[in-house]
Amino acid sequence: MENSLLSVRHLQKFFPVRKGVFRKVVAQVKAVDDVSFDIAPSETLGLVGESGCGKTTVGRSLLRLIEPTSGSVTFDGQDVLEAGGAQLRAMRRNMQIIFQDPYASLNPRMSVADIIGEGLKVHGIIRKRKEMEERVEQLLEKVKLDPVYINRYPHEFSGGQRQRIGIARALSLDPKFIVCDEAVSALDVSIQAQIINLLVGLREELGLAFLFVAHDLSVVEHISHRVAVMYLGKIVELAPTRELFTNPKHPYTQSLLSAVPRANPGAARNRTVLKGDVPSPIAPPPGCPFHTRCPVVMPHCKTEVPPLKKSGPGHTYTCHLDG
Ligand code: SF4
């Protein structure tokens, strides 16, 4: 991608499995294995897959909340994985995260003013309390919360309101990029829609780019410009959103899509229920990692790694089948 804000290449994150008195490393959990993608300024990339597929690890690795094992991450022309000290702190101002559980991610003993203003203090942007409170009031208005709530505590808010506080906190340092880590997954469907609409509005207003991590394709459909589907630590398909929803190529994407309820029941697809569980990322299956559950598996899928194929502009997938 020519004008990429974030560029991820061959990202890997392996977690060692230790055993015995000497905590010897006996295996590796391959949580993320050779993941590459780009995100343009003001673009939203949806990242979707079942729980344990590695999508959350990808999001956290980009911000170095988890240190990746190998690969490269370039943000705004700078090498994120090589950055240290002041350079990393400056980068983190521009790269923020919104977590899944807004209650667990907000300190219950801190007021809304302190939660949202914390970053401003830590980065030395605002030192006077009065100025900080004025800025927090502006941020509350941006996320459509009444500024009169500024001195309240997290337990006084609903789940949706708490997530708005989490969003205000992420916005406090004027970032260019935000990882939304299952940011709406814990909320009721009607509240999910409100938060997604809020994020879309903020993206338009502030020119934000998002990596929107979710386990449900229907959640990412309305916010994402493009969608990447992950299975067992790898991206198996990546395409512009409309293209992915109307012309999915990978059997895994097809099965996920078959579970998405459509507004027009006449257009409903036959539901494909996958057999078995996701294999262990400690010992992924050889050949195509999806072969143990694929409804159209062929003999050579069990031994040969599928190639990366192109299907139209910006549409790639890994499968032995031809589209
Ligand atoms: Fe299914 Fe084979 Fe394609 Fe893998 S490579 S998704 S097993 S058809």
Q: What is the pLDDT of residue 272?
A: 80
Q: What is the pLDDT of residue 267?
A: 52
Does residue 275 fall inside a structural domain? no
CB of 290 shorter than 6 A to ligand 1? yes
CB of 301 shorter than 6 A to ligand 1? yes
Q: What is the pLDDT of residue 234?
A: 97
Domain count, the chain: 1
Q: What is the pLDDT of residue 270?
A: 73
Place of tokens 């139209």: 312
Structure confidence by residue, pLDDT tens digits, 110-155: 999 999 999 998 888 888 999 999 999 999 999 999 999 999 999 9
Does residue 113 fall inside a structural domain? yes
- Regions in the chain scoring below 50 on pLDDT: none
Q: What is the pLDDT of residue 269?
A: 59
Does residue 270 fall inside a structural domain? no
Q: What is the pLDDT of residue 263?
A: 54
Does residue 208 fall inside a structural domain? yes
**236: which 2 tokens?**
């198996």
Q: Are 221 and 188 in contact (CB under 8 A)?
A: no
Contacts of 268 (CB under 8 A, 6+ apart): 261, 262
Q: What is the pLDDT of residue 1?
A: 75
CB of 288 shorter than 6 A to ligand 1? yes
* Structural domain containing residue 212: 6-253+309-318
Contacts of 35 (CB under 8 A, 6+ apart): 8, 10, 11, 12, 54, 58, 71, 230, 233, 234, 235
Distances (CA, A) of 266 to 130, 246, 263, 269: 58, 15, 9, 9
Does residue 295 fall inside a structural domain? no
CB of 244 shorter than 6 A to ligand 1? no
Neighbours of 33 (CB within 10 A): 21
Structure confidence by residue, pLDDT tens digits, 235-274: 999 999 999 999 999 999 999 999 887 655 555 557 788 8
Does residue 300 fall inside a structural domain? no
CATH code for the domain of 239: 3.40.50.300
Q: What is the pLDDT of residue 247?
A: 95
Does residue 280 fall inside a structural domain? no
Does residue 299 fall inside a structural domain? no
